[in-house]
Chain A
Amino acid sequence: MTQVSAFTAPALPGLRNLLSRYGENMMWLARYMERIENMARLIDVTGSSVQGSNRDAGWDSVIRINADEAFFFHHHKAATEQAVVAFYITESENPDSIKSMARCARENARVLRPLISTEMWMHLNVFTRWVVDLGPEDVGASYLSALCTRLKQDCQTHFGITEGTLYRDQAWQFYSLGKNLERADQITRLIDIKYHTLLPSGAGVGSDIDMSQWTSVLRSAAAYHAFRRVLPDGMTPANIVGFLLKNDGFPRSLSTSLRNVYSALGILAGEYRLRQCGPILERVEELRVTLVEQTVEDIILRGLHEYMDWIQRELRQLQNEIAQAFWPPVVSVAPMGGMEQMQD
């Protein structure tokens, strides 16, 4: 950490510093787009892996992954395919629905329009308007997969346009932070819920497993083919969890996401002299150490749920610290005085 705290000099003259508000919006734009992609993939995989007699089986885990049990069952009687799909795609009342998230992405994009490339804006403009206008008739079971595919592809198009056109300055680093924090969050939720759904009470490592269900876990993380290449004969729950948490070559694993978070913060601290990064970098490093120093078997034995839960709390804390460091809340102005306070 010494290389970070050494940078105590003020910002270089002429260095363009990003407006705090833009930093915040870049981060959330990336988070929302990443979330939409993940949600679309999860719904697609769930819809195509429940092929048995009961089409409604398996949909409850989508609700649990998103920790929406209370909210969902307040509005719906049962976790049927139709209800869950509507809840997560078109219902505006649900802030986690793809429609609500697209609306948020749109607001962020409108704010960021002076900053982002015209190509990024044009795509976001058309995409979010399309999603916001989706109606119940667009989410019928027979077109569900096609709809999810288009949603995913539009998100991926967004990431591609961004990679190819966004100017590389502080804004890009905040965008990267948002994208990777969101991936870390999503992967830990998926592992936590799926592992405990598929291996119910008492079943230990190595008990009989339903291969197709575990395949769908990998597919939900876009990890199926990568996993096959790395471990062609190793389809065990522990291997799958290990791959999703610890594989450094897989772009959506927890370890890759944390590495990217660390790198973005490191660049903000180094190239851009943002000293506030110091303590945040330390927290990320601590997280990475816990991941490196434990085998997946250790993690499962010590309690996978507890570990995932702890990671989730740490990620929330990271988000809060980043907000405090770069866009501290503005103290509301007292009506009589011009003596607005500075927070830093």
Chain B
Amino acid sequence: MHDMKMAAQAAGLFATYDIPDFFCELLNRGDTPPPGLQMVRDRLARFDLTELRRRAAAVEAQFYRLGITFTVYSDREAIDRVLPFDVIPRVLTAAEWDHVERGVQQRVRAINLFLHDIYHDRHILRDGVVPADLVLGNPNYCQAMVGLDVPGGVYVHINGTDLVRDRDGRFLVLEDNARTPSGVSYVLEDRQMMLRLMPDLATGLNIRPVDEYGPRLHRALVEVAPAGVTEPQVVLLSPGIYNAAYFEHVFLAREMGIPLVEGRDLMVEDGYVYMRTVAGPRPVHSIYRRLNDDFLDPLVFNPDSLLGVPGLVDAYRRGNVTLANAIGTGVADDKAVYAYMPRIIRYYLDEEPILTNVETHICAERAGLEYTLANLEQLVVKPVGESGGYGLLIGPHASQAELAEFRDRLRANPANYISQPVISLSVSPTLCPAGVEARHVDLRPFAVTGESTWVLPGGLSRVALRKGSLVVNSSQGGGSKDTWVLAS
């Protein structure tokens, strides 16, 4: 009955909106929405489709002019593509955000304690809470970090937590991104674009701003600079213009007002890092690196890498420079370690997780593998080493032949996989070729940690633009939405 009432209200733009059997962020929430959300709903309903399309076209043209693009590599060509942007915002209430924010802060705290522990005394392994071989045998576990004290005990300065909502609207953690999470530039650009092109939608609403991100990140990087440096020089280390996320590197360097450097701009002498300037070498103290561990220093990691800085790890180990994030954090966001995260939170903080995990079966464990093999057609199976939605099996969408083939793959290398039930991901109304339709969304809040942890209000809402698709990755046909956190 509640829904019927909703449908009656949601005439106009939403007249043909077919609310599926999912939690809809705007139109099927199972609660009485706060006034702000109701206002967005009513205002949107009064838009007509032609007008909405006109604005969407203007957004896309502007993104293209601005070169807010990511690079897709096909066979031999690099193509700049604009991340599709949906003009209908995703709105979170103050209460929802409070819950997410506290949950993310808790998780980041636990991850940092976990990383400190596994690179020092390894209590959690000795107490048998997490299997030692899962951590010590993990390809992302970094020997060079053993025994090293990082400033403030912060390993993960920038963290992205991927959240989804289930049929009841409950937030669940899908994965942690504790290495070099990307996407925050879209959050800020989407907001600017939104306020410029849909001002009538936002008027009078108390939406939490996002433009503090740059200064907050810069402050955190200054806070974790080596002790005793009065005016730390912060730089952003990028692989360069051919990297898919180059636009974001540019964006963040600009927002922080710091130089964007490449490996060849830096040099190490006597354990100190310098950048090459027109006035000669100048010291560098904090590096926000958007370069994977393997490429950071050819003397320690991949010797063929030309992207990194020879001697950087030595300078880091001597405490003369801070890297954000620290090296070897990948062990904490590994999809296999993820399964233990609720136990990790309880172990270090003696608290119940505020944000729960999606139920996860570890195929490296016998029970997990058997369960996965027996229920494959109902599960999502993920390889633990990959990112970007590649090599994923979505059981309910797979053919018999695909299932059989995947079973063989699982048996051949069970340790490489985890499985999870298919979550009925929440949807959000989205402008589609046929009109406004429901599309699945996720949420990636970004947490910045220096002396304390600050969570950017909102985060990146990614939307799977294909009907029924659950894959929101930009490289796989996903788009983004502006995420509005209502202040009250």
Contact = CB atoms under 8 A, between A and B. Distances in A.
Interface of A: 11, 13-15, 17-23, 107, 110-111, 113-114, 118, 121-122, 125-126, 170, 174, 268, 272-274, 326-327, 330, 333, 335, 338, 340, 342, 344
A22 B281 CA distance: 14
A237 B350 CA distance: 91
A333 B278 contact: no
Contacts of B264: 21, 330
A122 B65 contact: yes
A121 B247 CA distance: 12
Given A14-B231, A21-B262, A333-B310, A340 B267 contact: yes
Contact of A335 (B231, B269, B280, B303): B303
7 contacts: A17-B278, A18-B278, A19-B275, A21-B265, A121-B66, A125-B66, A342-B281
B276 interface: yes
A121 B275 CA distance: 25
A342 B66 contact: no
A13 B278 contact: no
B368 interface: no
Contact of B310 (A15, A126, A340): A340
Interface string B238-273: 000100001001100110000111101101110000
Contacts of B298: 333, 335
A2 to B, nearest CB: 21
Nearest to A118: B66
A52 to B, nearest CB: 44
B280 A113 contact: no
A20 B277 contact: yes
A20 B278 contact: yes
Contacts of B265: 19-21
A113 B282 contact: no
Contacts of A15: 279
B259 A19 contact: yes
B278 A274 contact: yes
Contact of B268 (A111, A126, A340): A340
B277 A344 contact: no
Contact of A17 (B249, B282, B303, B314): B282
Chain B interface main SS type:
mixed
Chain A CB within 10 A, most for which of B261, B267, B277, B298: B277
Given A19-B276, A121-B67, A114 B269 contact: no
Interface string B40-69: 000000000000000000000000011100
Contacts of A342: 267, 269, 281
Contacts of B268: 338, 340
Contact of A338 (B65, B279, B282, B310): B310
A101 B212 CA distance: 39
B311 interface: yes
A13 B231 CA distance: 9
Contacts of A327: 276, 278
A273 B298 CA distance: 35
Contacts of B267: 330, 340, 342
B124 interface: no
A284 to B, nearest CB: 17
B210 to A, nearest CB: 18
Name, among A20, A107, A174, the residue most crowded by chain B CB atoms within 10 Å (CB to CB).
A20
B278 A23 contact: yes
B271 to A, nearest CB: 9
Given A21-B265, A340-B268, A114 B250 contact: yes
Contacts of A174: 278
A256 to B, nearest CB: 25
B291 to A, nearest CB: 16
A50 B276 CA distance: 51
A23 B264 CA distance: 14
B125 interface: no
A323 B433 CA distance: 53
A344 B281 CA distance: 9
B299 interface: yes
Contacts of A340: 267-269, 310-311
Contacts of B282: 11, 17
Contact of B278 (A107, A326, A335): A326
Nearest to A272: B279
Contact of B277 (A18, A111, A125): A18
A173 B66 CA distance: 26
Given A107-B241, A338-B314, A340-B310, A11 B65 contact: no
Interface in B283-311: 298-299, 303, 310-311
A122 B277 contact: no
Contacts of A122: 65-67
Given A338-B311, A342-B269, A113 B250 contact: yes
B279 A17 contact: yes
Nearest to A268: B278
B472 to A, nearest CB: 27
Nearest to A173: B278
A231 to B, nearest CB: 41
B65 A114 contact: no
Contacts of A344: 280
B241 A114 contact: no
Contacts of B246: 110
Nearest to A21: B265
A18 to B, nearest CB: 5
Contacts of B254: 114
A19 B310 contact: no
A33 to B, nearest CB: 17
A85 B254 CA distance: 40
Specify which of A113, A118, A126 lies most central, judged by the most chain B CB atoms within 10 Å of its CB: A113
